[in-house]
Amino acid sequence: MNECIIGIGSNLEASYHIQEMLRLLASDVQIVQISEMVQTKPIGITDQPDFTNGAVRVLTEMEIEELSFYLKNLEDQLGRDRSQKKFGPRNIDLDILIWNDTIVDQDYYTREFLRKSAKELGFRNDKKP
């Protein structure tokens, strides 16, 4: 069984999209714990609503590539508009942050809210590899 922390972000109908994502996610992985959701200012393109960010710790039999593909499909299922600019508004954004106690997303080091969410979910090893 693989343990993973997935970063969550949304700034378009965030409450609805995050709850719906968690409902769908729970049908395919075991949700262990959900972090507090916090409001953050947009990065890059600042003329858009604030984001709601957090993370979820899950157990899954999927391998990392399979889970990554699954999360992209889940974003699409929830109506993610991939034509938006990189830092543009989005209804849901899901990224694998930590895989079996290894940081796999470099944004972890530059975004304090990701580190706080991971720590809240029990991740303690935040040293760069």
pLDDT tens, residue order, the chain (129 aa): 999 999 999 999 999 999 999 999 999 999 999 999 999 999 888 888 999 999 999 999 999 999 999 999 999 999 887 777 777 788 999 999 999 999 999 999 999 999 999 999 999 875 554
What confidence score (pLDDT) does residue 126 get?
A: 55
**Secondary structure element (H or E) that encloses residue 54, with its range:** strand 51-60
Q: What's the confidence (pLDDT) of residue 128?
A: 53
Q: What is the predicted pLDDT for the residue at 127? A: 55
Q: Return the C-alpha torsion angle 10, 11, 13, 17, nearest 10.
A: -10
Question: What total number of domains does the chain contain?
Answer: 1
Per the domain annotation, does 125 fall within a domain? no
Residue 126 lies in a domain: no
Domain that residue 73 falls in: 2-120
State residue 22's pLDDT score.
98
pLDDT value of position 36: 97
> Which bin fits 105, alpha (ψ -120 to 50), beta or left (φ > 0)?
beta
Residues 111, 112, 115, 121, CA torsion sign: negative
Residue 60 lies in a domain: yes
Rounded-to-integer distance, Cα 5 and Cα 8, Å:
10
Q: What is the pLDDT of residue 89?
A: 81
Q: How far is CA 19 from CA 9, 46, 124, in A?
A: 12, 25, 26
Say if 64 falls within a structural domain: yes
CATH number of the domain within which 17 lies: 3.30.70.560
CA–CA separation, 54 and 120 (whole Å): 10
